Structure 1
């Protein structure tokens, strides 16, 4: 199945005066038949935002943090809980949650609750982030962020799967722990570049790979990641892989559905399964259903017939 995700504007450089535009876009995506909405995460900011452009820290070469330190960022689990009550069928994903900044037992409970209340629609997208100040504010060592994320996922999946949970690791030990409700299965999406730590994390925990950094737009990346997983002993023929899709505007300054989805067949040919379209451009806030319905229709027409799912126009 080739799927379409809509990246929601859950942050703003300055106070937007309300978040109705976010609600309207999520509801329009649900009604238009898009497959998923996603929201971003930052818990807090320091003042070294230029670190975003440093790949060695987890950033993107040449990239720029989209807001200043006083940007308004909504907490993603809370935001998706609100959106779950406003929608009926669309999936809800964090993109990405810095999961290590949350206590694992609390995150496991929050995620299971959101999945239960949304009718099994929650996807957990995770990554290590790039900002040392956030880890310091949480009292956590930035240099161990990869291990902290693995530990968090280990605890979450233990609590989700075991009727009476036990866990033993240097960071935490427990036994005889009960936590309900149990989710039927929360897909975990792992963000990162192709490197040994991300390959192991994806192989151990992941349903899908959220491409990042130098691998975000490299057409060879999906095949290279699948090869890396196989070399590491993980057989993942069903791996989901994201690709980025940009909105193309026509001469009338309105989205051009045909031009927007034109790259889709080529992206699918590289091994991409999930196209992520960012709706952060302020021109997309006005009457979102008027451009989302034709765009989703064009997207379905651009995907192989076996993968088409009819858009739901209500």
Structure 2
């Protein structure tokens, strides 16, 4: 059976009066509900041209407050003991490789090996301009950042040379708690460059937003062939499936009928079923009841 992931809201009206610290309460609820992994999304800054979002209308205005995901995950790790943490997705090219490697290794040590990271290039040019990172280098920087982090987590001292990241004989300590380093999930469509990242460096794949069952299944076959050509296989390789929000008899999104699709996602190749909480619940006072429903739905699926 696949594992259960939940993407928590790190933005928006669930945190009334700027009570963003309550995201730790959501993490405790998720752990108590038996969720295996929490994920957060990433926006460093937001420009005015949200109409450039490539997956339809962007659901929030530019002034929406977004918590930085790595700091938020560290906050949640401090109040939990079992649940794992990841990003969906971290815009890795916006962060210097050595700084990112150090931050992630520190988080993994402090959480006692409970960290993963999902990475991608993002979609917003303004974020790159504000961070002083060339937009036209985003793909190369993603590739180089992943590789540089893995070198820093493995070697002491480490040396690395690429078109956008270079260093010689440096130490990045402490190393991650996980012996093989922090699992990296690469997000996005399976075009040749992204497929290369997945095959060479990744532990898992996050399909593009709104990918359906057929697209996921086709992607799994593509990955299987590419990994085999490189001497790898899908054993232990993560595939994320995002369930859609299904409405109940009152026309409201409901977690119970939505979770009925989970077995179909698993049959198509998903190793973790991801539920986006913001599709269902936007009020903190209703969060505990929502997690209770999620836990019951997941337990029912596991038993049948």
Q: CA deviation at 1:19?
A: 1.9
Partner of 2:271: 273
C-alpha distance 228-72 of structure 1, shift in aligned 2 (>3 A) = farther
**Is the 8 Å Cα contact of residues 224 and 234 (structure 2) preserved in structure 1?**
no
C-alpha distance 15-22 of structure 1, shift in aligned 2 (>3 A) = closer
**Is the 8 Å Cα contact of residues 13 and 282 (structure 2) preserved in structure 1?**
no
For structure 1, the 5+ residue unaligned runs are: 54-59, 306-314
Segment of structure 1 superposing worse, 83-92 or 218-227: 218-227
Superposed, 1:271-310 pairs within 5 Å as 271-280=269-278, 281-283=280-282, 285-303=284-302
Segment of structure 1 superposing worse, 90-99 or 8-17: 8-17
Superposed, 1:192-231 pairs within 5 Å as 192-213=188-209, 215=211, 217=213, 218-230=215-227
Superposed, 1:33-72 pairs within 5 Å as 33-53=34-54, 60=55, 63-72=56-65
- Aligned partners of 1:256 and 1:282: how far apart in 2? 9
- Aligned partners of 1:236 and 1:284: how far apart in 2? 42
SS in 1 for 2:132: coil
TM-score, normalization by structure 2: 0.89
**Is the 8 Å Cα contact of residues 85 and 118 (structure 1) preserved in structure 2?**
yes
C-alpha distance 179-230 of structure 1, shift in aligned 2 (>3 A) = closer
**Is the 8 Å Cα contact of residues 216 and 241 (structure 2) preserved in structure 1?**
no
1:5 aligns with 2:1: no
From 80, 91, 96, the equivalent of 2:73 is 80
SS in 2 for 1:220: helix
Aligned residues: 297
Q: CA deviation at 1:41?
A: 0.5
For structure 2, the 5+ residue unaligned runs are: none
Q: How large is the RMSD of aligned CA atoms in angstroms?
A: 2.4
C-alpha distance 294-48 of structure 1, shift in aligned 2 (>3 A) = closer
- Aligned partners of 2:140 and 2:16: how far apart in 1? 36
- Aligned partners of 1:154 and 1:219: how far apart in 2? 26
SS in 2 for 1:182: coil
1:174 aligns with 2:173: no
C-alpha distance 76-264 of structure 1, shift in aligned 2 (>3 A) = same
